[in-house]
Amino acid sequence: MAINYSAIQNVLQEFVTSVGNIQGASIMSPDGLALASSLPPGMEEDRVAAMSAAMLALGERIGRELSRGNIERILIEGDKGFAMVSGCTDDAVLIVLTDDKGKLGVLNLEVKQLIARLRPMLTFSKSQVA
């Protein structure tokens, strides 16, 4: 079966609306193409996708250079909230945005659960690719 992007889209939308202080979530390919998103108005999906992929790739490269092992996530902490980028599967990267009331502990936990939910939806056997 092919990947059901509208189902993924629904999961992201539900995540953004049901979890407190979350402003947006988006997944993209590791080379920066948007797959599915629920983003605040005015935020351009394609740009977010390219930036998230670039950030994770550069973070992973820096992590390797500085011997930090496997990179779990890249965190941007601003006075208006967090942006957290995590590898979701080998073929997908996740970014989650919070507002300034977001708590890092909650974000960590929620992102972990979101990834666990998305992972099976993003996995497909190569033989099924047309």
Partner 1 sequence: MERTSPKQVMRIVATGPVGAGKTTLIKTISEIDVVETDRAATDDSVLLKPNTTVAMDFGRITFGPNMAVHIYGTPGQERFSFMWDILVHRAHALMLLVPLHRPSDFFMASKMLRYLQFHASDVPLVVVGTHRDLPDAWPAEEVLPALGIEPDAGIPIFSVNATQTHEAVQVLIALIEQYQRLTQSHAKAG
Residues near partner 1, by CB under 8 A = 29-33, 46-47, 49-51, 53-55, 57-58, 60-61, 65
For the CB of residue 114, give the shortest distance to partner 1 in the complex, in Å.
Answer: 22
Residue 80, classified by CB atoms within 10 Å of its CB into exposed (0-12), middle (13-18) or buried (19+), is: exposed
CB of 80 to partner 1, least distance (A): 19
Minimum gap (Å) between residue 50 Cβ and partner 1: 4
Q: Which is nearer to partner 1, 16 or 56 (CB)?
A: 56
Give the C-alpha distances (Å, rounded to integers) separating 78 from 22, 70, 102, 108, 114. 14, 24, 11, 16, 22
SS3 80: coil
